Each structure stands twice: as structure tokens, then as C-alpha cells.
Structure 1
């Protein structure tokens, strides 16, 4: 369920919305959902106004917001780039007055970006009177989960974890591009149970020979030889020793959580878009002891220090750590 659906489920249709944050794609998708939820196609032309705050005349904005719905229960007014109205006392006062005196049947949507560190009263007043939804950029580790979520919500088809990770690694964090590619994949895999990595290849997305998530799984399943063989390719694709060390530490801490407190302990701490990882981590945890995980994490801390201070290559330090794991006996933490 989308954040807009959840919000309407809690507070009902209509209302004033303040959509802010740096993720422009998800803000735009939220605006589209609000429009589609409140307006039908037959009367949309009479009841929808999309206004750019940087270009609007304030009197025109006031007239637009004061116009009642025509042949419809709802009227939607979208004000894009609302931060452009925060600069003068006059524009601030007009916006806040409009909020206080909105007509029945009006859906007023403010969309914009609050400047970092801003303590302007305009934004706090806007938040106090609105249904506030913040759209921060999705972290790279959350993108596979976002793809799985979007595929089910929009196309009613699942994406295999391997396919989602391959897409995220190949395409990057541009949600607009990812969304377009996901739509192509949904058409290609129509009639099948899920979108697989083979579909990602078939649709023409160029995949790297190795991605960081696959590599962490190699280490987690104790396939150290393959991890050593593929490490140079991973580093040549732009990964850094410090970045991989941080990722490995997170991966091993999760395995440790399973060993210490079971799957419930891990699931309670995984971010919402990474819950799907639990089954995978549980499977890998069966190959490790608590002592091995503890020793591995202590050695990773040493690797991190060496990477930041030594003149030797990132590959050298990570290979040394992997070889230590492969041949260690009776680890002591």
C-alpha cells in the first residue's frame, strides 16, 4: 500500500497536503495518485489546476484555490515548488490565509523542498495545517526492496531478489529510469509467476559480472575461493575497500543477530524494504558459529584501519581477510 493510500485510509479523502523531500520521482508519483484518487477523467479538465509557484501571480493563485468544484465532488489544486513562496512576507501570509479558509471539496497539494537547516516559520505553519509526507532519497540498499514493492503494487507480479539486485546494480538509484525498466519487464514476464534475472538480461539491461550483494552472499555462504576470484572485478567497477568492509560488517552483524536471538531478532531490526533478506541471512547463519562471527568482525575492524592507513592495495587487505576466514581454526574473540 502506498503512503498516499495509507494517509487517505487514516484521514479520508480531501484535505491539504504538504509533500516535501529530495526524492522528486516519488513526490510526482504521489501527486498523480492524489489526482487519480479524487478526480475522474470526464470532469478532470474542469477541476484540476497545476501551478508553478515560481511563476504564479498570487492573486491568480488565490482565485484558483477559491473556485469550487464543477460537476464533481472534488477539485484539486497542485502548487509545485512551494519553497518559492517562502521568500516574502506577502506570499507567506497569502498561502497561510488560503490554508485557513479552504473551501469544502478542495484538495490542496503543496509540493516542494525545504532548504536544509531551515527554521522558517512558513514551513512549520504549513506542516501544522497539512497532511505532511516526506520523501527522502531511497538508500542504495533499499532499492531492490523498492523494486519488489513497486512490481507487486503496480503490475501484480513479483520480482525475484536476484533480478531486483541485478537491476539496482545496473541502473543505479534513478527511480524514474528504474520504474520505466520495471514496466518493460512486467510486459515481458506477463503470464509468468515472477520477473527473473533472465528477463532483466532479455530486456537489454547490461549487467555487471559481479555486484556487491552477490559478493556478500558468497562470503556469507563461505564460498571464499569465488569471493577472492571475483573481488578484482568488483573493485574495478568502482567499489572501494572501505565501502565493502562496511557492507561486510553489516552482513556479519545480521548473521550474528540470527545466531544470538533468532530470526525474530533480525526481522525487528531490518529496515522495512530489507525484510525480505531475513530468510537469506538465516540460511547463511547455519554455516557459522558465534565465535567465528565475532572473530570476523574484530578482523574487519583491523582491515578498516589498515585500508585508511596502509600503502597496500584494497584488494590485498580484503584478500588477506578472506584467506584468514578460509583457514582459521578455533577462532577466539
Structure 2
């Protein structure tokens, strides 16, 4: 069956009353485990959990034991849930047991497999799992995805809204480890209590490691043509661990989104943004009014030039990015002079 998106899992669980097999794969373990939890909540009856719920790791289970657990019918309940984590560690015979159950699940069985598929693996086992089970891939979130994930997760789990600046500051301070971010989301929800909204000041007050210069706020300076401020705060970004190539990539993403608005309007941008980046549209629309499509093209050429300089010339990161910012500043200056 075709893979589904993570956001479709809840609807799939409502529709698949009879149970079946699920395969959650990808390198983002936190999201895989979150999906496992949703399956368990949907199918395991708390009153009979001890009889109808088994979990194991692929590296530890023998094929005979696995076959026995899969073949045991539910007791005093509609479903029996068997979870196999680290399915990449299953033996050849255990993989055969799993595939047989995925192709023809016993009545009442809910079989959940999770795996981080080894890079470059050509094993047919994973293709067969994707073919016969409800399959979702959970890839690590990028820095651009993480603030949106914070806002959405906070809304769903705690009912608290986050201002974009607060979400960006939290990610800038603690990184994209979703377990840590989830813990901070719960901590901030308790802090704001009945206010139901987390601000940048709240993140600072709770003691989060808020960076002195938010990288996304710095990219906003570029988008808004505030190049003097961008040049002044560049050393702070570099001191925080950013590097020239990463900043060029970030600016490129910002300008590509602006270019989409210039070329096709707000709708074109909204269609292309990833699910966790939809919140950016409200901010990028007004920024795009400061650019024309030819100026975006010229700016992208300057970014390419700087990327090559960073990889081949003797300029250090600060010198290369400062020169780039001055050249981008000149792109707008020509329009103003005309």
C-alpha cells in the first residue's frame, strides 16, 4: 500500500478498525515512538493490557518466540498489539515471520514495527514492509522545520499557542532534539498557565539558552533589506557557531521563498512550503514586496559567487559574508537610485 504522511495517522487509525500492520521507519526516533504511542492508545484496552500487549527489540527476539506472540489471539478484547522495535536487527527467519503476518494478519492482530533503515540498504525486507503495512517515514527535522513543529506540537499537546519568535528562539537555543524541545514545551505550558500563549519573554524567563542573535531573525533582516543591521550582528552569529556556508544556504532559502511570491503570488509560496513551514507565509508575503524578481535573481547569483569563494578562496567566513551583504545592499541601491 502507498505510504502515508505522519499527519494522516490518526485518521488511518480511526478507519482501520480491524487492525493490521504498521511500519514506522526513518532516523527520527522521537517521532517514531510518538506514532507507536498513538497506535497503542487506539488499540490497547487498558483493562486487558497485560494479556494483549507485547513489545520487544528485533536484536533480542528469536523467530519462534516472535511467531508465538504474533499467533496468540486477543484475550477478552478485540485486539492484540505486538510491537517490534529496531526491526533492522531481526534475523532472516524472524523477518519471514513478520512478513507473513503483514501479508495476512491474524484476526485481531495489530503488529507495529519500527526501524532505522541502514544507509544504502538494498534489503527487500523493507520494501515488502512498505508494500504490505501502513508505512510512514520519519526523517529528522531541519532547523527550518523545527519552529513550526514546536508551534504545532504545543497547540496539540498543551493547548498553548506559541509566537513564532518564541519558537525560533527556543530552537536556536536548544537545537532540534525533539525530546528536549518537547520537554521545554511542557515546561513553558506550566509557566504561562491560564495565559495560553508563549512569548519570547517567557522563553527567556524560564531560563532557556536563547541565542543573542536569532538566526531566523537575521535572515529576516536580509529579507527586509536591513543590511546595515545584518552586517553589525554578523559577528554575533559567527561567535554562536554559525558558518559562512550555512548562512549562504539559509539566505538562499529565504530568497527562494521571496522569489516564489514575486513570480506567482502568495498562493505559489503556500503551495510549496513544507507542512511545518506554513507559518512562514504570513511573514514572507510583506517581505517580498521589497524585492522584484530580477533582484532576487541577481541576489541568488551573488550567493553562488560567495559560496564558491568560501570553498576556494583565502577569505574567512566573516570577510566573505560581509562582502556578500554589501553586494546585496548594492542590488537594492540601484533601484532606489533609479
Q: TM-score, normalised by structure 2?
A: 0.91
Distance 1:119 1:304 in 2: 35
CA shift, 1:177, in A, is 0.9
Deviation per residue, 1:51-79 (Å, 9 max, x gap)? 12211232222221122222222111111
Identify unmatched segments of 5+ residues in structure 2.
1-5
**What secondary structure, in the 3-state scheme, does the structure 2 residue paired with 1:226 have?**
helix
Q: Out of 160, 163, 183, which is 2:166 matched to? A: 163
Superposed CA offset, 1:85-120 (max 9, x none): 2x43x3333333333453211111111122222222
Q: Distance in 2 between matches of 1:100 and 1:221?
A: 55
> 2:128 aligned with 1:125, yes or no?
yes
Does the 8 Å contact 1:151/1:158 carry over to 2? yes
For residue 329 of structure 1, give the secondary structure of its aligned residue in structure 2: helix
Change (3 A) 1:92 1:189: same
Deviation at 1:13, TM superposition (A): 5.2
Q: Counterpart in 2 of 1:35?
A: 40
The runs of 5 or more residues in structure 1 that have no matched partner are none
TM-superposition CA deviations, 1:124-179 (whole Å, max 9, x none): 22222211111111122101111111111111221111011111111111111111
8 Å contact from structure 1 (residues 295, 331) kept in 2: no
Residue pair 1:267, 1:278 contacting (<8 A) in 2 also: yes
Q: What does residue 59 of structure 2 align with?
A: 54
Give me the CA root mean square deviation: 2.0
Counterparts in 2 of 1:237-248, with a 5 A limit?
237-248=240-251
Q: Secondary structure at the match of 1:151?
A: helix
Relative to structure 1, is the Cα distance of residues 69 and 306 closer, same or farther in structure 2, using a 3 angstrom cutoff? Answer: same
In 1, distance between residues paired with 2:18 and 2:231? 56
Give the alignment partner of residue 141 of structure 1, picking from 128, 139, 144: 144
Provide the rounded CA distance (Å) in 2 between the counterparts of 1:249 and 1:92.
44
| Residue 13 of structure 2: aligned partner | 8
Identify the range of structure 1 (219-228 vs 164-173) with the bigger mean alpha-carbon deviation: 219-228
Q: Normalization by structure 1: what TM-score?
A: 0.92
Separation of aligned partners in 2, 1:212 and 1:200: 16
Structure 1 residue 208 corresponds to structure 2 residue 214: no
Q: CA deviation at 1:47?
A: 1.3
Q: CA 1:297 to 1:12, structure 2 compared with 1: closer, same or farther past 3 Å?
A: same
Structure 1 residues 291, 130: closer, same or farther in 2, change over 3 A?
A: closer
| Contact 1:13/1:38 (8 A) holds in 2 | no
Deviation of 1:228 after TM superposition, in Å, equals 1.0
Aligned residues: 330
